[in-house]
């Protein structure tokens, strides 16, 4: 059955999955209320930005050395900023 999949979401990071879900939410929010499109677009932007930061840190820093925590810390900071922006829009 896996050979029939157009896109295998298991190959993506969780940040890109969040970006895809945010994009789909933005498209379907046009049906219900145009105001909610901002939540979807900001979520999609968050997913892409977090993925880029994660990959840059992952390529530069090996998890075995003492700077491996930097990836998790940057992810937490980006997520907090994302939540604060969504609350501010609300």
Mean pLDDT score, 4-33: 83
Q: Which residues contact 9 (CB under 8 A, 6 or more apart)?
A: 17, 20
68 falls within a domain: yes
Domain encompassing residue 41? 12-89
Alpha-carbon span 43 to 7, nearest angstrom:
20
pLDDT confidence tier of residue 3, bands split at 50, 70 and 90: low
Is 74 part of a structural domain of the chain?
A: yes
Q: Is residue 64 part of a domain?
A: yes
* Average pLDDT of the segment spanning 2-28: 80
φ/ψ (deg, to 5) at 13: -75, 165
Is 1 a domain residue? no
CB contact at 8 A, 60 and 47: no
Residue 79, in any domain of the structure: yes
Q: Specify the number of domains making up the chain.
A: 1
- Indicate whether 18 belongs to any domain: yes
CA distance 67 to 22: 31
pLDDT for res 43: 92
Residue 3 belongs to a domain: no
């Amino acid at each position: 059955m896996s050979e029939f999949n157009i896109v295998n979401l298991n190959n993506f990071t969780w940040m890109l999955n969040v970006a895809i879900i945010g994009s789909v939410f933005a498209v379907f929010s046009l049906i219900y209320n145009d105001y909610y499109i901002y939540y979807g677009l900001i979520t999609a932007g968050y997913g892409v930005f977090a993925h880029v930061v994660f990959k840059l840190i992952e390529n530069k820093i090996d998890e075995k050395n003492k700077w491996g925590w930097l990836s998790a810390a940057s992810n937490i900071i980006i997520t907090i900023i994302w939540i604060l922006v969504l609350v501010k829009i609300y």
